Structure 1
Amino acid sequence: MSRKISKVKQGLLLLCCLVAATGCKQAPPAQMETGYEVMTVAPADRMILSTYSATIRGRQDIDIYPQVSGTLTKVCVTEGQRVKNGQTLFIIDQVPYEAALQTAVANVKSAEAALATAQLTYESKEELHKENVVSAFDLSTAKNSLLSAKAQLAQAKAQEVNARNNLSYTVVKSPSDGVIAMLPYRVGALVGPSIPQALTTVSDNSDMYVYFSLTENELLSLINQYKNMDEALKNMPEVELKLIDGSVYGEKGRVESISGVINRQTGTVGVRAVFPNASGILHSGASGSVLVPNSYKGVIVIPQEATVAMQDKISVYKVVDGKATSTLITVAAINDGREYIVLDGLKVGDEIVSQGAGLLREGTQVK
């Protein structure tokens, strides 16, 4: 009986081994394969608009300060008024300066009379000295009195000129064509050269200066593109101005100057563009954005999503023999946020992974 049970157990064991062996011989599950979008590199032309924050200033923003002290007796302009060069803006109390001028004129006349007397005295002493009636000392004294009278007359005339100038300074005139800013002082206010705030500001806004900055890399790219700074200023395309409300200003401007010094704190260089402002839409002190077009012809352009950035290095995955091969590239400093212009690392005809490059690893099979 025990022998029969033992044979049954052996049979069951053998059956289990066969089942296990059959399961071990089953084929492994198929691996999942992922497809990637690829592109073949080809030359293309691109016009890329680079945007830079900008501030707008008038060609001249002149703060008007009085050159003499006194009470404002008349304000001849209003805020926002357009004025001409030499137009009267303010009048300061003229009474004390008119009195000072009259005193100066009287002093000149007195000095002229004193000079005439000294001249007659000297001539008389000179004749008497020839006849040995007066001594050489008396003649020298008369001559010195004549010289002193001449000096006093010159001093009196200088005081007269100064008095006339001070009187003319009581009429404050515009030094250029422009638009009047705010008027912080009114009739009756005491003003002078040391007042904390200007009487007003005259802004010449017939043309407007728009200031923005380029990074050091963008500056070098610009110089490399046009060979030197002078050629860059001559041949740079016209720029546009986007206003604070998002609209684009109707007139185009041109880059007029680029600073020759890089700011150590910001690492940028200042650029000035000039825009015509015949319509008067632009105002000094406003802000906006400058749109600078950059034209590239026959260049290699790839989507930015085809790249992998690691610190300051940018790479793509070329497809070589069906496998992903990481390749470092050099791109232009200027881009539109969607595409890169490749300067080095790729050539026409290369095949690269155009999407999902960040998920790839070196040697990944690309289907």
Structure 2
Amino acid sequence: MSAGSKLKTASVTVALIGAVAAGGYFAKPYLVGSMGAGPAVAQTAPQAMPVKVAPVETQQIRLWSEFSGRLSAIDQVELRPQVSGTIQEVRFEDGQMVQKGDVLMVIDPRPYEAAVAEAKAELNAAGHTLRLAKKQRVRAEQLVKKGHVSKAVRDQRVSDHTVAVSRVNSAKAQLIQAEINLNYAYVKAPISGRLSRAEITVGNLVEAGPNAPVLTSIVSTDEIYADFDVDERNYLRYVHELTKVGGAVSELPVELTIDVGELRVYKGHIHSFDNQIDPATGTIRARAIFSNESGSLLPGMFAELRLGGSDVEDLVLLNPGDIGTDQDRKFVYVVGEGSTVEYREVALGASVEGKRVITRGLAQGDQVILGGLMKVRPGVPVTPILPETAQTAETTQLSATADTAKAEPSN
């Protein structure tokens, strides 16, 4: 580079440095003014955010508690032979529905028929003996008055008559027992219901007694029990409700749900509570009763049960999405004084049809902010909009947008 070029470059550099310094000097007053030396700029007040709200209203709701239980038959009988003999007939099919008094099995009745015939003959003979003894007694009483026979003879005739009466009574008892045994030879259903299978088949010998085998079993089906355990807290609540209205436990409704590909609900009521709480589990055994005319409910089935209160209550319900969690507390946002957001701690109760019962924290008329947990904070000004109003506004806006689109000319 030549000496002339170097001199020109140095001159340009000096000129640029001077310009920068001058710019900084003239810019300084503006910077100072913006940092507080100049006039203050007025801040604009935050605009109120539109939020959907719902006024708190109570609804008449029956509270339900859910339990699991098992079904059991109201009547269940194991049939055993009451006389000995060979099984001659089986008159039912496995699983058949029968009525009380139907003959199910026949034990060879011939020995018992013979016993009945023998007892009848004994009774007939005892009757003849009694009639003769009665005549002799009457004759002896007449003759002793005339002195034709001694008192000893009369006393003997009286004794013979008394023995004859006893023999007749004994013969009658033997006949009754023989007829009972003959009746036992025809094994009958003691209750109406559904039979199990035949445990003893035709041709087998059975004997009566404490070790007698089970021939079959039968369970009633018209009604059925559901047994389940109720925790102490819920039990006390139900008892307290009944005490207030002076009702009986049978007034407590129970719903039973069975899953048969679709949920089928049966309605019943409490039959009884046990007489003590199990200290090991803190529960009391409850028994509900349900109609089962179709016979589709079977003993031993697992069932989901809901136990309801004796009466409906005025309750506040909220969607879970409108309830926030603050560590171990639950809260909602409501529209407070000056149309600002207010934090309100609430206490939750049971779940009812997907909603939660609010037992404490809200009063009639409070406006709860819906779905705004992530959008608003306490103290923020808001414009409350009822859901119906918001829906109308959205519909109007959509209609206006559609009309505008129609009015635009096509290219």
> TM-score under structure 1 normalisation?
0.69
Once residues 313 and 297 of structure 2 are traced to their aligned partners in structure 1, the CA distance between those partners, rounded to angstroms, is 31
What aligned pairs does 1:73-152 form with structure 2 within 5 A after superposition?
Answer: 73-152=88-167
Query: Letter of the aligned partner of 1:270 in structure 2?
Result: A
- Provide Cα deviations, 1:20-51, integer angstroms capped at 9, x if missing partner: xxxxxxxxxxxxxxxxxxx9993454676643
Identify the match of residue 258 of structure 1 among 272, 275, 286: 272
CA contact (8 A) 1:256 1:272 kept: yes
CA contact (8 A) 1:211 1:271 kept: yes
Identify the match of residue 42 of structure 1 among 56, 68, 76: 56
Query: Letter of the aligned partner of 1:61 in structure 2?
Result: Q
What aligned pairs does 1:350-365 form with structure 2 within 5 A after superposition?
Answer: none
2:247 paired residue number: 230
CA contact (8 A) 1:259 1:271 kept: yes
Task: Using the TM superposition, give the Cα deviation of residue 75 of structure 1 relative to its aligned residue in structure 2, in angstroms.
Answer: 1.0
1:194 paired residue number: 210
What aligned pairs does 1:1-367 form with structure 2 within 5 A after superposition?
Answer: 42-45=56-59, 50-187=65-202, 188-195=204-211, 198-225=214-241, 227-228=244-245, 230=247, 233-234=250-251, 236=252, 239-243=254-258, 245=260, 247-249=262-264, 252-259=266-273, 261-265=275-279, 266=281, 267-278=283-294, 280-292=295-307, 296-299=313-316, 301=318, 303=320, 306=324, 315-316=329-330, 329=347, 332=349, 334-335=350-351, 340-344=356-360, 347=363, 349=366
CA contact (8 A) 1:256 1:274 kept: no
- Provide Cα deviations, 1:255-279, integer angstroms capped at 9, x if missing partner: 142326343244224031313332x
CA contact (8 A) 1:50 1:335 kept: no
CA contact (8 A) 1:317 1:325 kept: yes
Give the secondary-structure state (helix, strand or coil) at the position aligned to 1:133: coil
CA contact (8 A) 1:104 1:159 kept: yes
Larger relative helix fraction: 2
Change (3 A) 1:151 1:233: closer
**Greater displacement, 340-349 / 110-119:** 340-349
CA contact (8 A) 1:60 1:204 kept: yes
Query: Letter of the aligned partner of 2:232 in structure 1?
Result: E
1:31 paired residue number: none
State percent identity of aligned pairs: 22
Query: Letter of the aligned partner of 2:235 in structure 1?
Result: L
Task: Using the TM superposition, give the Cα deviation of residue 122 of structure 1 relative to its aligned residue in structure 2, in angstroms.
Answer: 1.7
**Greater displacement, 126-135 / 301-310:** 301-310
Once residues 258 and 307 of structure 1 are traced to their aligned partners in structure 2, the CA distance between those partners, rounded to angstroms, is 40
Give the secondary-structure state (helix, strand or coil) at the position aligned to 2:222: strand
Change (3 A) 1:162 1:170: same
Once residues 317 and 242 of structure 1 are traced to their aligned partners in structure 2, the CA distance between those partners, rounded to angstroms, is 34
> TM-score under structure 2 normalisation?
0.63
Task: Using the TM superposition, give the Cα deviation of residue 90 of structure 1 relative to its aligned residue in structure 2, in angstroms.
Answer: 0.8
Task: Using the TM superposition, give the Cα deviation of residue 252 of structure 1 relative to its aligned residue in structure 2, in angstroms.
Answer: 3.0
Tell me the matched-pair count: 314
Change (3 A) 1:214 1:122: same
Task: Using the TM superposition, give the Cα deviation of residue 139 of structure 1 relative to its aligned residue in structure 2, in angstroms.
Answer: 0.8
CA contact (8 A) 2:346 2:359 kept: no
Root mean square deviation of aligned Cα? 4.0
**Residue segments in structure 1 that go unaligned for 5+ positions in a row:** 1-38, 357-364
CA contact (8 A) 2:94 2:196 kept: yes
**Residue segments in structure 2 that go unaligned for 5+ positions in a row:** 1-52, 381-411
Query: Letter of the aligned partner of 2:192 in structure 1?
Result: D
CA contact (8 A) 1:207 1:275 kept: yes
Once residues 85 and 338 of structure 1 are traced to their aligned partners in structure 2, the CA distance between those partners, rounded to angstroms, is 47
Change (3 A) 1:126 1:298: closer
Task: Using the TM superposition, give the Cα deviation of residue 351 of structure 1 relative to its aligned residue in structure 2, in angstroms.
Answer: 8.0
Give the secondary-structure state (helix, strand or coil) at the position aligned to 1:230: coil
Task: Using the TM superposition, give the Cα deviation of residue 155 of structure 1 relative to its aligned residue in structure 2, in angstroms.
Answer: 0.9
Decide which structure has the larger Cα Rg and report it.
Answer: 2
Once residues 184 and 241 of structure 1 are traced to their aligned partners in structure 2, the CA distance between those partners, rounded to angstroms, is 33
Query: Letter of the aligned partner of 1:78 in structure 2?
Result: E
Task: Using the TM superposition, give the Cα deviation of residue 302 of structure 1 relative to its aligned residue in structure 2, in angstroms.
Answer: 7.3
Give the secondary-structure state (helix, strand or coil) at the position aligned to 1:120: helix
Once residues 353 and 248 of structure 2 are traced to their aligned partners in structure 1, the CA distance between those partners, rounded to angstroms, is 27
- Provide Cα deviations, 1:152-205, integer angstroms capped at 9, x if missing partner: 111111111111111111111112322111221112141424346532222221
